[in-house]
Each structure stands twice: as structure tokens, then as C-alpha cells.
């Protein structure tokens, strides 16, 4: 098998069927590099994975997202559940692994390290959007709840427009932020009609459970895992950046900045373009300890 050949596997776990991919880095002596998002699936890491042909790469679709199924796509998927899923895959592929985890994937990875500290050698936790660590946590949580309520009331277009308004907000949330009018979906090129579905993995499964997660940073700090908390240079002021700053402080580590923004590793995936070459170079440096 050469370095670019990929195999796809499925794993039955309680409440879900997971799909994961292995790209075999032929002759690699380094630990497996596991690239994790949530609810973003493996397809979001195509470009980043291509920069590491010398490493065996594992990617996966979180439960309820793309190829990974679960019986009720409207039910929440919690960081604890995702952490158990990651643990089961690592047991199969062989750990400890190195892990780059972004956004909700970083939240889930922190939950993994807290419970299974032997699973990960180095974790790069990139922009975990954990509102509970923020000084304005109650207002931030109310904003997330408002997004969910908009989605349940009016469907995907309205929910995503509201999500964009919250996700792009700079600085602390005011007490009345959650009560502000929902932006017009059309201004973002989103559908204005409600198709009746409520199975979007971000809105229905992860919006509330992810933002409300209370990370056990004491357990993370005591783990043997080397934890690097990271944020994008262009993300300053938004929830994931602000959370990353505070989590790094609480762990007693320096925040590491990466090129680009929240999706700095994208190379056209999902129609988004970051700075993938510079991002991959930075990730390699961090994984090597420099």
C-alpha cells in the first residue's frame, strides 16, 4: 500500500455506526495522526491530510454526520459520546495517536483526554467553541439556545443565518443579544423556505450539547498527553478563539496561533479556502515540538 492509498472501515458502537478512513503512511515510525472535526466529517480534511504523506492518517465522520449514522438524527450527540467513539477507533487502529482536533472536534478531544489520557500523545486542540469557560457564559449559552430555537421553529436557512450571526460576533455577548432579530437567510445565500427537516448535525445534534459542555481541565492538565491549545490568527474575538485563550491559561500553557481563521486548513472543502500550505507547515512544526 502506498502513502496515498486509503481504506474505509465501519464500526458498530452503542447508538451509532461509525465510518472511518485510514491513509497508510508507508514505513512511518511516527504515531498515527488522527484528524478530528465535529460535526464536520472526514471530507473536510482532504487537503490537510495530503500534506502528511509520511504519516498514517486516520479521519472519521462523527456519529450522525455524513457517512456515520444513528437511529435518531434529531437526538443530541454529546462530547462524552463522541469521546467514547474516538476511544473505540483508537483501540482498533492502535494508540497512542497524535491528534489534530478542530472546532467541536477539539471539544470532543478534550473530553477524550480527560477520560482516556493514554490514548493521545500530542493533542492540538484548535478553537474549541466551549461557551462555559467564558466570563459571559450565560449570555453566550443563551445565544446558542436562541440559534437552536430558531432552527427548530423555522428550519435550516433561518437557523444557519442565526448561527452565522452568533459565530461571527466579536467580543462578549450582552444580556439582550439572544433576543436580537434573526438575520435574513437570503443575505447569506441560504434557503428561505423551511423544508420541514430537523436533522442537521450541527443544529439538532451538537449545537446545545457542545456549547454547554463543562470540560474537566484538571483531568486534562494531569494527563500525560501534551496538549497544545491553538487558534487562528484571523479568529480573534469570536467564541472559539476566546475559549481557546482561556483554556490555554487554565492549563498553564501558551496559546499557539495558526494561519487563517476557524477553517484555516481548508483547501476548497465545503466551498471554503483557508491557508492550507502554511497551516500544514505550522501543524508539522507543533507536532514535532517546535
| pLDDT one-digit tens code per residue, 190-245 | 999 999 999 999 998 888 888 899 999 999 999 999 999 999 999 999 999 999 99
Find the mean pLDDT for residues 125-149: 97
Q: How many CB atoms sit inside 10 A of residue 182's CB? A: 16
Q: In the prediction, which pLDDT does 169 show?
A: 96
Q: In the prediction, which pLDDT does 2 show?
A: 42
Same domain, 265 and 193: no
Q: Tell me which of 22-26, 135-139, 276-280 is least confident.
A: 22-26
Q: In the prediction, which pLDDT does 207 show?
A: 86
Within a domain: 268? yes
Question: What is the rounded distance in angstroms from the CA atom of residue 283 to the CA atom of residue 232?
Answer: 12
Same domain, 14 and 86: yes
Q: 3 pLDDT exceeds 50?
A: no
Q: In the prediction, which pLDDT does 4 show?
A: 63
Task: Give the CATH number, domain containing residue 279.
Answer: 3.40.50.1820
β-pair type (33-36, 16-23)? unpaired
Same domain, 145 and 283: no
Determine which helix (DSSP H) or strand (DSSP E) holds 207, and give its type and residue range.
helix 207-211
Same domain, 84 and 223: yes
Residue 80 near residue 111 (C-beta atoms within 8 A) = yes
Find the mean pLDDT for residues 18-22: 98
What is the residue range of 168's domain?
Answer: 137-208
Within a domain: 23? yes
List, in order, residues 6 or more apart from 249 with CB less than 8 Å away: none
Give the total number of structural domains in the chain. Answer: 2
Same domain, 40 and 86: yes
Same domain, 218 and 115: yes
Same domain, 112 and 36: yes
Question: pLDDT above 70 covers what percent of the chain?
Answer: 98
β-pair type (120-126, 33-36)? unpaired
DSSP per position, 1-48? --TT-EEEEEEEETTEEEEEEEE--TT--SPPEEEE-SSS-GGGGHHH
Find the mean pLDDT for residues 269-281: 96
Q: 273 pLDDT exceeds 60?
A: yes
List, in order, residues 6 or more apart from 264 with CB less than 8 Å away: 232, 233, 234, 258, 274, 275, 276, 279
Give the closest residue to 202 by CA, choosing from 77, 83, 48, 70.
Answer: 77
Find the mean pLDDT for residues 106-129: 98
Q: In the prediction, which pLDDT does 1 show?
A: 34
Find the mean pLDDT for residues 273-282: 98
Q: In the prediction, which pLDDT does 27 show?
A: 73
Q: How far is CA 49 from CA 62, 83, 144, in A?
A: 17, 21, 31
Same domain, 95 and 108: yes
Find the mean pLDDT for residues 2-8: 75
Q: In the prediction, which pLDDT does 158 show?
A: 97
Q: What is the DSSP letter of 230?
A: E
Question: What is the rounded distance in angstroms from the CA atom of residue 132 to the CA atom of residue 150?
Answer: 21
Q: In the prediction, which pLDDT does 271 show?
A: 92
Same domain, 232 and 198: no
Q: In the prediction, which pLDDT does 26 show?
A: 74
Give the three cell numbers for residue 207.
449545537
Q: 63 pLDDT exceeds 70?
A: yes
Q: In the prediction, which pLDDT does 205 show?
A: 87
Amino acid at each position: 500500500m502506498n502513502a496515498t492509498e486509503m481504506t474505509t472501515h465501519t464500526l458498530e458502537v452503542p447508538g451509532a455506526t461509525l465510518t472511518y478512513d485510514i491513509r497508510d503512511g508507508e514505513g512511518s515510525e511516527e504515531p498515527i495522526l488522527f484528524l478530528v472535526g465535529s460535526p464536520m466529517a472526514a471530507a473536510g480534511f482532504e487537503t490537510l491530510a495530503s500534506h502528511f504523506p509520511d504519516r498514517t492518517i486516520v479521519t472519521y465522520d462523527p456519529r450522525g454526520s455524513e457517512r456515520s449514522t444513528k437511529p435518531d438524527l434529531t437526538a443530541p450527540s454529546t462530547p462524552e459520546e463522541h469521546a467514547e467513539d474516538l476511544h473505540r477507533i483508537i483501540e482498533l487502529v492502535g494508540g497512542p495517536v497524535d491528534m489534530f482536533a478542530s472546532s467541536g472536534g477539539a471539544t470532543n478531544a478534550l473530553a477524550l483526554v480527560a477520560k482516556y489520557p493514554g490514548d493521545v500523545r500530542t493533542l492540538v486542540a484548535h478553537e474549541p467553541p466551549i461557551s462555559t469557560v467564558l466570563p459571559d457564559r450565560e449570555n453566550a449559552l443563551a445565544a446558542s439556545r436562541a440559534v437552536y430555537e430558531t432552527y427548530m421553529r423555522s428550519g435550516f436557512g433561518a437557523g444557519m443565518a442565526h448561527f452565522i450571526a452568533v459565530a461571527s460576533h466579536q467580543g462578549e455577548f450582552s444580556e439582550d443579544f439572544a433576543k436580537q432579530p434573526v438575520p435574513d437567510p437570503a443575505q447569506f445565500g441560504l434557503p428561505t423556505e423551511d423544508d420541514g427537516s430537523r436533522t442537521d448535525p450541527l443544529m439538532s445534534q451538537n449545537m446545545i450539547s457542545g456549547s454547554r459542555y463543562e470540560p474537566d481541565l484538571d483531568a486534562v492538565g494531569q494527563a500525560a498527553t501534551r496538549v497544545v491549545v491553538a487558534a487562528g490568527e484571523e479568529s480573534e474575538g469570536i467564541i472559539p478563539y476566546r475559549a481557546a485563550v482561556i483554556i490555554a491559561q487554565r492549563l498553564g500553557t501558551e496559546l499557539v496561533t495558526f494561519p487563517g481563521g476557524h477553517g484555516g486548513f481548508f483547501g476548497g472543502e465545503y466551498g471554503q479556502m483557508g491557508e492550507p500550505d502554511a497551516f500544514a507547515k505550522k501543524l508539522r512544526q507543533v507536532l514535532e515540538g517546535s
